[in-house]
Amino acid sequence: MRIGVLTGGGDCPGLNAVIRAIVRKGVPEYKYEFVGFRDGWRGPLESLTMTLDIPAVRGILPRGGTILGSSRTNPFKIEGGVDQIRRTLMNLGVDALIAIGGEDTLGVASKLADLGVHVVGVPKTIDNDLSGTDYTFGFDTAVGIATEAIDRLHTTAESHHRALIVEVMGRHAGWIALHSGMAGGANVILIPEVPFDIAKVCDWVESRYRNHYAPIIVVAEGATPLDGTMAQVAGEKDAFGHVRLGGIGESIAREIESRTGKEARTTVLGHVQRGGTPSSRDRWMATRFGLHAIDAVHDGDWGTMVALRGSDIIRVPLAEATEKLKTVDPTLYAEAEVFFG
């Protein structure tokens, strides 16, 4: 049997660990051959392939990024895209696909599975916002990077009596902001799930100064102000219709300066959060996802995604995992509010 493997969406620490585990189990145990599809769904659309055998996956476990490359190509937005994918799979003698990705890549996988393509999914995203799994790999690494940044920013905030705003990733879900903000002792955490009141944020900033400390505000890039309280930030859209975000941290800094008279500066962590070597937890999770994904292929369990539930790896329908995003429950956010101000 020949299996195609692809990685789609934003890169994420741990992608290579999944690829390695798939090949390291699939070749000796099930005698499968693999085809690496390059650059997400663009690979099967344009027949972009690479060799994916045991020598190809040697030494990649601790490497960030993805040896297969990635893209945000959406075959359902391309005329004849799905037929083209079917043709490629047939021409290359590929019987099944393993798609490693987030909501967009796995959303495509789910629709293809409905159309009869043999697909198994693996959940990846630093945002941790995929339903059906307790955690996605990449998240732990991203939280570690953001926490270290917050730790380092505390010293500058205190030395210069500045309000420091740290903008982290999280388009629709505030998981990175919540976890890193709590771990790093932020004084305010703003997440997309709970629109914020800038006047309240400024109150917290001022109360922090009254206690002779300088405030650290962690804001998810997708956080939004309450309607009519502050200007909104807009950007271009990608092939999945997502606006390119970035800029809310700077807007908050300007508001804090004008409303409180205190100096405010912003650090945007951006792609640093997705780059570099995965944490040991992410390597462990990604490796187990890879091992279980190839088992799902062996069982012909098409249209499923491997998922972490407690410490077990289970399989859930791709349709269920991609139906709606896993966002932060407001009660969980309320726990962090104890430390605001």
| Residues catalogued as catalytic | 127
Nearer to ligand F6P, 126 or 202 (CB): 126
C-beta nearest to ligand F6P: residue:
10
| Strands of 163-168's sheet in order across | 188-190, 216-220, 163-168, 264-268
**Using CB under 6 A, which residues numbered 46 to 85 contact ligand F6P?**
none
Task: Burial-class residue 225 by CB neighbours within 10 Å (0-12, 13-18, 19+).
Answer: buried
Q: C-alpha 247: how far from its chain's center?
A: 19
Smallest gap from residue 143 Cβ to ligand F6P (A)? 13
Bridge partners, residue 309, by sequence: 312
In the 8-state DSSP scheme, what is residue 137? B
Q: Cβ of residue 260: shortest distance to ligand F6P, in angstroms?
A: 29
Alpha carbon 147 to its chain centroid, in Å, reads 16
The DSSP call for residue 48 is -
Which residues 195-224 are close enough to bind ligand F6P by CB under 6 A?
221
Q: What amino acid is encoded at 184 in this protein?
A: G
The least CB distance from residue 262 to ligand F6P, in Å, is 29
Nearer to ligand F6P, 179 or 274 (CB): 274
Is there a contact between 265 and 162 (Cβ–Cβ < 8 Å)?
A: yes
- Report, in Å, the least distance between residue 65 CB and ligand F6P: 12
The answer to whether the beta carbons of residues 140 and 126 sit under 8 Å apart is no
Q: Which is nearer to ligand F6P, 193 or 221 (CB)?
A: 221
CB 75 within 8 A of CB 85: yes
DSSP state, residue 318: H
Within 257-316, which residues bind ligand F6P (CB under 6 A)? 274
What is the Cβ-side half-sphere exposure of residue 297, based on CA atoms within 13 angstroms? 34
User: Which two three-digit tokens encode residue 302?
Assistant: 């098409």
Contact residue for ligand F6P among 77, 152, 160, 244 (CB under 6 A):
244
Q: Are 227 and 213 in contact (CB under 8 A)?
A: no
- Report the residue number, 24 or 124, with the smaller CB distance to ligand F6P: 124
**What is the footprint of ligand F6P within residues 87-106 (CB under 6 A)?**
102
Question: What minimum distance in Å lies between the beta carbon of 244 and ligand F6P?
Answer: 6
* Binder of ligand F6P out of 15, 150, 177, 245 (CB under 6 A): 245
| Residue 10 sits in the site that holds ligand F6P (CB under 6 A) | yes
> Which residues, in sequence order, are CB contacts of 85 under 8 Å at separation 6+?
41, 44, 45, 75, 112, 117
Work out which of 9, 13, 278, 303 binds ligand F6P, going by CB under 6 A: 9
# residues near ligand F6P by CB under 6 A = 13
Non-local CB neighbours of 185 within 8 Å, separated by 6+ positions: 150, 154, 216, 339
Binders in 120-179 for ligand F6P, by CB under 6 A: 125-127, 169-171
CB closer to ligand F6P out of 158 and 238: 238
Asked if 273 and 170 touch (Cβ cutoff 8 Å), the reply is no
CB 330 → ligand F6P: shortest distance, Å? 20
- Tallying the residues shown for the chain, one arrives at 341
Cβ proximity to ligand F6P, 126 vs 223, nearer residue? 126
CB of 325 to ligand F6P, least distance (A): 11
Measure the CA–CA gap between 69 and 268, rounded to whole angstroms: 25
Contact positions toward ligand F6P, by CB under 6 A? 9-10, 102, 125-127, 169-171, 221, 244-245, 274
